[in-house]
Amino acid sequence: MNVETFDSARGLERSAAEAASPVYVLRLFVTGMTPRSTRAVEKVRAICEDYLHGRYDLEVIDIYQQPALATGEQIIAAPTLVKKLPLPLRRVIGDMSSTERVMQGLDLAPAPGR
Protein backbone atom coordinates (compact mmCIF):
# COMPACT_ATOMS: atom_id res chain seq x y z
CA MET A 1 0.00 0.00 0.00
CA ASN A 2 1.52 3.34 -0.97
CA VAL A 3 1.48 6.44 1.25
CA GLU A 4 -1.27 8.15 -0.76
CA THR A 5 -3.59 5.13 -0.45
CA PHE A 6 -2.80 4.85 3.26
CA ASP A 7 -3.65 8.53 3.85
CA SER A 8 -6.88 8.12 1.87
CA ALA A 9 -7.86 5.06 3.88
CA ARG A 10 -7.11 6.84 7.15
CA GLY A 11 -9.17 9.84 6.01
CA LEU A 12 -12.11 7.59 5.15
CA GLU A 13 -11.90 5.86 8.53
CA ARG A 14 -11.80 9.24 10.29
CA SER A 15 -14.82 10.47 8.28
CA ALA A 16 -16.75 7.31 9.09
CA ALA A 17 -15.94 7.66 12.80
CA GLU A 18 -17.09 11.29 12.79
CA ALA A 19 -20.33 10.34 11.03
CA ALA A 20 -20.95 7.63 13.64
CA SER A 21 -20.37 10.15 16.45
CA PRO A 22 -22.70 13.07 15.73
CA VAL A 23 -22.36 16.42 17.46
CA TYR A 24 -25.19 17.09 19.90
CA VAL A 25 -26.73 20.57 19.88
CA LEU A 26 -28.41 21.15 23.23
CA ARG A 27 -30.26 24.02 24.89
CA LEU A 28 -30.88 24.07 28.62
CA PHE A 29 -33.58 26.51 29.70
CA VAL A 30 -33.36 27.62 33.34
CA THR A 31 -34.96 30.28 35.55
CA GLY A 32 -32.26 32.53 36.96
CA MET A 33 -29.47 31.31 39.21
CA THR A 34 -31.66 29.41 41.64
CA PRO A 35 -30.22 26.35 43.37
CA ARG A 36 -32.40 24.13 41.17
CA SER A 37 -31.15 25.83 37.99
CA THR A 38 -27.54 25.66 39.13
CA ARG A 39 -27.84 21.93 39.88
CA ALA A 40 -29.43 21.31 36.48
CA VAL A 41 -26.59 23.13 34.68
CA GLU A 42 -23.93 21.25 36.64
CA LYS A 43 -25.61 17.88 36.07
CA VAL A 44 -26.12 18.38 32.32
CA ARG A 45 -22.53 19.58 31.87
CA ALA A 46 -21.24 16.54 33.78
CA ILE A 47 -23.33 14.15 31.66
CA CYS A 48 -22.14 15.84 28.47
CA GLU A 49 -18.49 15.62 29.54
CA ASP A 50 -18.86 11.96 30.57
CA TYR A 51 -20.79 10.74 27.53
CA LEU A 52 -20.33 13.32 24.76
CA HIS A 53 -16.86 14.72 25.43
CA GLY A 54 -15.90 16.93 22.51
CA ARG A 55 -19.14 16.15 20.66
CA TYR A 56 -21.62 18.62 22.10
CA ASP A 57 -22.63 22.25 22.02
CA LEU A 58 -24.56 23.24 25.15
CA GLU A 59 -26.27 26.61 25.35
CA VAL A 60 -27.70 27.60 28.74
CA ILE A 61 -30.57 30.06 28.42
CA ASP A 62 -32.05 31.99 31.33
CA ILE A 63 -35.69 32.46 30.41
CA TYR A 64 -35.87 35.59 32.59
CA GLN A 65 -33.19 37.23 30.43
CA GLN A 66 -34.27 35.80 27.06
CA PRO A 67 -38.01 35.12 27.23
CA ALA A 68 -38.40 35.21 23.43
CA LEU A 69 -36.21 32.11 23.07
CA ALA A 70 -38.33 30.24 25.60
CA THR A 71 -41.50 31.27 23.78
CA GLY A 72 -40.04 30.20 20.43
CA GLU A 73 -39.17 26.77 21.83
CA GLN A 74 -42.57 26.52 23.59
CA ILE A 75 -40.97 26.05 27.02
CA ILE A 76 -43.65 25.70 29.71
CA ALA A 77 -41.48 24.53 32.63
CA ALA A 78 -37.88 24.94 33.71
CA PRO A 79 -35.37 23.44 33.75
CA THR A 80 -35.95 21.98 30.30
CA LEU A 81 -33.23 20.41 28.17
CA VAL A 82 -33.87 20.46 24.42
CA LYS A 83 -31.89 18.20 22.10
CA LYS A 84 -31.98 19.96 18.74
CA LEU A 85 -29.48 17.70 16.95
CA PRO A 86 -29.12 14.92 16.11
CA LEU A 87 -32.76 14.46 15.20
CA PRO A 88 -35.32 13.66 16.46
CA LEU A 89 -35.81 16.71 18.64
CA ARG A 90 -36.28 15.64 22.27
CA ARG A 91 -37.07 17.43 25.55
CA VAL A 92 -36.24 16.51 29.12
CA ILE A 93 -38.16 18.45 31.76
CA GLY A 94 -37.21 18.56 35.43
CA ASP A 95 -34.19 18.99 37.66
CA MET A 96 -31.91 16.68 35.60
CA SER A 97 -30.94 14.73 38.72
CA SER A 98 -31.57 11.34 37.07
CA THR A 99 -28.65 10.57 34.77
CA GLU A 100 -30.58 7.66 33.23
CA ARG A 101 -33.57 9.85 32.38
CA VAL A 102 -31.39 12.57 30.83
CA MET A 103 -29.49 9.96 28.82
CA GLN A 104 -32.74 8.45 27.56
CA GLY A 105 -33.85 11.93 26.53
CA LEU A 106 -30.60 12.37 24.60
CA ASP A 107 -30.90 8.88 23.04
CA LEU A 108 -27.64 7.78 24.67
CA ALA A 109 -26.84 4.32 25.96
CA PRO A 110 -25.16 4.18 29.38
CA ALA A 111 -21.46 3.44 29.41
CA PRO A 112 -20.47 -0.10 30.46
CA GLY A 113 -20.03 -0.47 34.21
CA ARG A 114 -22.20 2.52 35.11
> Cα–Cα distance between 107 and 93 in angstroms, integer?
15
Cβ atoms 90, 103 nearer than 8 A: no
The total of other beta-carbon atoms located within 10 Å of residue 111's CB is 9
Rounded to two decimals, what is the model's pTM?
Answer: 0.78
Q: What is the mean pLDDT of each run of 10 residues along the chain (114 residues)?
A: 51 53 96 95 97 97 96 95 96 94 87 52
With vertex at residue 33, the alpha carbon angle to CA 73 and CA 91, rounded to the nearest 5 degrees, is 30
Domain architecture of the chain: domains with CATH: 29-105 (3.40.30.10)
Check residue 112 and give its pLDDT. Answer: 54
> Cα–Cα distance between 37 and 50 in angstroms, integer?
20
Check residue 6 and give its pLDDT. Answer: 47
